[in-house]
Amino acid sequence: MTRRWFITGGTPGGFGMAFAEAALETGDRVVLTSRRPEELRTWADQYGDRVLVVPLDVTDAAQVLRAVHSAEERFGGIDVLVNNAGRGWYGSIEGMDDSSVRTMFELNFFAPLSVTRAVLPGMRARGSGWIVNVSSVAGLLAAVGFGYYSATKFAVEATTDALRDEVAAQGISVLAVEPGAFRTNAYAGFANEPVTEAIPEYHDMLEQVRAAFVELDGVQPGDPRRGARAVIAAMAQDAPPRRLVLGGGGYDAVIDALEQNLADIRASETLSRGADFPA
């Protein structure tokens, strides 16, 4: 059956476009949203009426409702939502300014919730659908210098897990996707974003973080197209996974972090159990 996709965060060479192309390869139809839709016109033209490009700032609740309405009006409904739009800023936990923290939560956490809430009524009415939330490896292990970005993605992970159980009875499936380092334009801005840390003690640490991203830009091991196809393959499994880590480096880092967490928790088992009232 031909599915109708609604994908946020469409940019040339980004994960949003990779998801769109992977869906189109399977014969599906796609609504791809972007804050700069003019950048996608030439790309969209090659697919004719199978693609609809919609302008959308996902932090604007009114625009979200209009975009979802446009998609449903054009294709009759939305079968797959991919919450892909997002961005990360770096800074210390102590020193990052409140405005940047709140902006990051608006974009990475509250915005996908807004889109999800707009799409769910149609899925519930049809008794089927997929919600794919693009989180990050940083949503499963906190990244130094990206503590608040990690916090937004940890929040996405938590709501994804709860949502999955809440909507399962309605025939709706929910998947969290955690990419590692993928060759998109996500790292391109670091070269032009000098460290602006207000607290001198953290400056050198953040400069090292920034330099690592500048060095990795353009040589990230992850292929967005392969990543998007892996997500579609996971969705097609008889027992789809609850989450899918993308990229070998990301997979290794997540497994290592989770095993360390499990060992740490088990090492304090006596203290943990001792906090109960005596039997």
What Cα–Cα distance (Å) separates residue 30 from each residue in 43, 74, 126, 134?
13, 10, 18, 17
The answer to whether 175 and 246 are in contact (CB under 8 A) is: no
Active site residues: 135, 149, 153
Q: How far apart are CA 251 and CA 179, in angstroms?
A: 9
**Per-residue pLDDT tens for 95-151?**
999 999 999 999 999 999 999 999 999 999 999 999 999 999 999 999 999 999 999
**Per-residue pLDDT tens for 48-81?**
999 999 999 999 999 999 999 999 999 999 999 9
Q: Which domains does the chain have, with CATH numbers?
A: 4-268 (3.40.50.720)
The answer to whether 135 and 176 are in contact (CB under 8 A) is: yes
CA angle 235, 236, 240 (to 5 degrees): 55
With 0.75 as the threshold, say if the pTM is over it: yes
Model confidence at 218, in pLDDT bands (50, 70, 90)? Answer: confident
Q: How far apart are CA 35 and CA 87, in angstroms?
A: 13
DSSP, residue by residue, 148-193:
HHHHHHHHHHHHHHHHHHHHGGGTEEEEEEEE-SBSSSTTGGGGG-
Question: Under the phi-then-psi rule, with left for phi > 0, alpha for psi from -120 to 50, and beta for the rest, what region is 247?
Answer: left
